[in-house]
Structure 1
Amino acid sequence: MQKPPLILTNVLLFSVTSLICLLLVPLEAITNGFDSTEIIACIVLFWFSGLSITAGYHRLWAHKAYDAHPLIKVLFAVGGALALQNSILHWTSDHRVHHKHVDDNDRDPYSAGKGFWFSHIGWMLREYQASRYQDYNNCRDLQKDKVVTWQHRHYLMLTLATNIGLPVMLGWLNGDIWGMLLLAGVLRLAVVHHITFFINSLAHMWGKQSYTDKNSARDNGVLALFTFGEGYHNYHHIFEYDYRNGIRWWHFDPTKWLIRGLSFVGLTSNLRRVPEQRIEKARMEMQLKQIQSRVATLPNARILSQRLQHEYELLAEKMSAYYDVKKHRLELKKKQVVEQYERLDLDFKYRELKHAFMLAKSRWLEVHKLQISYT
């Protein structure tokens, strides 16, 4: 089968920036060095452009996980142009198709099933999706967004102004245009490119499937450190409308922290979160599935499976009761209409069910560890 024609602009962009990073940046570092202003500018623009993709393109526009003030939208639109990953409209169209047809080698634009190279960068080097970009009909909601349409119309101008004009201006102010252009311009751009591309490639190949095995997405804390918190990808693919990727307090997710922080000053709102019960249920179902696959080959597999199923059903029952009471308790607290006696009774029931749930969960984990030891 004949391959689609090359996209020469993209081939030249990735080739030239890679060569500059491999040859000219080290040469400049050896001969003239980079001063602190250039290093700081590189780091600031790196975070600005990277977060504009993860918090803006991805969680704000592609998944509508929260709402943002027009000022924040404009900043993300400019930062997205600085990241040079196409317009919001084009990027979102690709990403929504990816989520709808994940791992489908015929319809997923960057299917990991086609290998690391294709999902990382190869899909952008040829006209694989040329016929799809006519009216962006899967992004009609964004076509009503004035910031999105403004950026789409002026995308070329914005990319030139941010990727060339901004480093040149900063270099002129610092007295070294060439050094600033190399470090804060080209090197910063190439690093942001490959770090965010890892979400399409490595995040579908390396890590744990904590919540679902219906797609190739993985949770990986190491990748999260380098992808602005996007490494918790298995969670994201089952709960894509959550504004968080890392849901635990210890999860490194600066994108989540930025969105949450901006909400305190009224610049973001309507932050969407998946109910805790749905998250726990998905995790438990995946744990059961993983354990069952481990014990299936053991001599006493039938007895173990029955025990596992019994413990799972007990845990699910306790969990359901616990979260029902927790929800009711929170509703009553919000309404502030509960009588003191009812509150005390409810608090007692809540603690009792919480204890029962935690006990069942502890037993479940013991069974989980026990089955692992058998293998």
Structure 2
Amino acid sequence: MKKNPIIWTNVLLFSSSFLVAAVAAPYYALTIGFTAVEIIAMILCMGYCGIAITAGYHRLWSHKTYDAHPILQWIFAIGGAFALQNSVIHWASDHRDHHRHVDDNDKDPYSAGKGFWYSHIGWMLRDYQGDTYNNYNNVRDLQKNPILAFQHKHYLSLALLTNIGVPVLLGFIFGNMWGMLLSVGVLRLVLSHHFTFFINSLAHIWGKQTYTDQNSARDNGILALLTYGEGYHNYHHIFEYDYRNGIRWWQFDPTKWLIKSCSWLKLTWNLRTVPEDRIAQAVAKMQLKRAQQKAMLLPNSEQLLQLLEQEYQLLMVKLQAYYQLKKDFLQQRRAALVNQYNASEFAQRYQELKEHLQQQQNHWQRLTAAFQ
């Protein structure tokens, strides 16, 4: 069977940078030692590259979860070239195909169904896409963006300027060229690459499927720490147009925090979120599905399945009533139709429904937990 041709540019880039990071950087650290300035510079540059990919390449352009000021777009476009992960137009084209055909070994560019190595880096080492490699029909909207068109046209120049120019400039300023080239130049690049690649590989293997099991994506808090919040991948694959990945206040998602903070400065706007009721329904549906799978293995399975279905339907009724009341009130308030009497009546009714929903959710949690 004929194999796809090797992309030697990628093979040489990934192998040489990895060898330098794995051999030369540790040797330098043990014999000479990296200074605090070099370590801080590497962390800051790695953070800039990572945020440019997550907030820019991914959430802004691939999924259009919010709009951004041109200043912010330029910052992300340059940071993406610094991250050395191809142009926005090419990156977003691959990523949109990934979401449209997730886990399809023939159409998903980095399908997890082909294994860890392939989804992590193997898909970039051979020409698996063939004639479709430069087919950007799914990103015509991005091609109309002059900032992205410029970055795509001059990507190689921007990549060389940032990946060589930044470490050299820092080395000149702080008087240690080799230390900056190894830390900011190579080690930063390799870590930035593989942390991003973990989303294509580990985030489809390791973690929880809280919201859906219709694809292989997982939520993983540890990966979120390494990927600026992208580790909540199960949520992202079912609700890809939400500007957040970690939707709870305690979930580590600095990309979300940055986007939200920039909205206060009028640098971002039209931040898209998924309604709370849809999220709650997705969670309950998965809990029902897992409980049903366990119940089918137990005695009196028919009665247990019937009980689960009844309790689930009751939960859905109370959930829909609660969120519908909340939605109606907000619409009336925007239309200036709420007076003092309406507000008082709403508050009482809202509190009643909230308590009933909470009771039913607690009961549902206990019921489904019994099947764990």
The corresponding residue for 1:164 is 164
Q: CA RMSD in A?
A: 0.9
Distance in 1, matches of 2:12 and 2:148, equals 27
The corresponding residue for 1:38 is 38
How far does the alpha carbon of each residue in 1:145-173 deviate from its partner, in whole angstroms, 9 at most, with x for none? 01110000000000001001110011011
Instruction: Give the unaligned 5+ runs of structure 2.
Output: none
The corresponding residue for 1:239 is 239
Aligned residue runs from structure 1 range 91-102, under 5 A: 91-102=91-102
Asked if 1:16 is matched to 2:16, the reply is yes
Instruction: Give the unaligned 5+ runs of structure 1.
Output: none
The corresponding residue for 1:325 is 325
Aligned residue runs from structure 1 range 294-305, under 5 A: 294-305=294-305
The corresponding residue for 1:368 is 368
Q: CA deviation at 1:341?
A: 1.6
So what's the TM-score if we normalise by structure 1?
Answer: 0.98
Distance in 2, matches of 1:130 and 1:45, equals 34
Aligned residue runs from structure 1 range 176-191, under 5 A: 176-191=176-191
Distance in 1, matches of 2:24 and 2:309, equals 61
Do the aligned residues in 1 keep the contact of 2:90 with 2:134 (CA within 8 Å)?
no
Distance in 2, matches of 1:270 and 1:370, equals 42
Q: CA deviation at 1:262?
A: 0.6
Aligned residue runs from structure 1 range 101-250, under 5 A: 101-250=101-250
Distance in 2, matches of 1:334 and 1:264, equals 21
Distance in 2, matches of 1:321 and 1:334, equals 20
SS in structure 2 of the partner of residue 141 of structure 1:
helix
The corresponding residue for 1:274 is 274
Distance in 2, matches of 1:106 and 1:2, equals 16
| Equivalent AA in structure 1 for residue 165 of structure 2 | G
The corresponding residue for 1:293 is 293
How far does the alpha carbon of each residue in 1:223-258 deviate from its partner, in whole angstroms, 9 at most, with x for none? 111111001000000000000000000000011001
How far does the alpha carbon of each residue in 1:282-321 deviate from its partner, in whole angstroms, 9 at most, with x for none? 1111110011001111012111111111100000000000
Q: How many corresponding residue pairs?
A: 372
Q: CA deviation at 1:130?
A: 2.8
Distance in 1, matches of 2:77 and 2:191, equals 19
So what's the TM-score if we normalise by structure 2?
Answer: 0.99
Q: CA deviation at 1:47?
A: 0.3
Distance in 1, matches of 2:193 and 2:339, equals 57
Q: CA deviation at 1:339?
A: 2.1
| Equivalent AA in structure 2 for residue 177 of structure 1 | M
Asked if 1:55 is matched to 2:74, the reply is no
Q: CA deviation at 1:109?
A: 0.3
Q: CA deviation at 1:34?
A: 1.2
| Equivalent AA in structure 1 for residue 314 of structure 2 | L
Q: Which sits farther off after the overlay, 232-241 or 125-134?
A: 125-134
SS in structure 2 of the partner of residue 81 of structure 1:
helix
| Equivalent AA in structure 1 for residue 285 of structure 2 | E
Distance in 2, matches of 1:54 and 1:134, equals 22
Moved over 3 A (4+): none
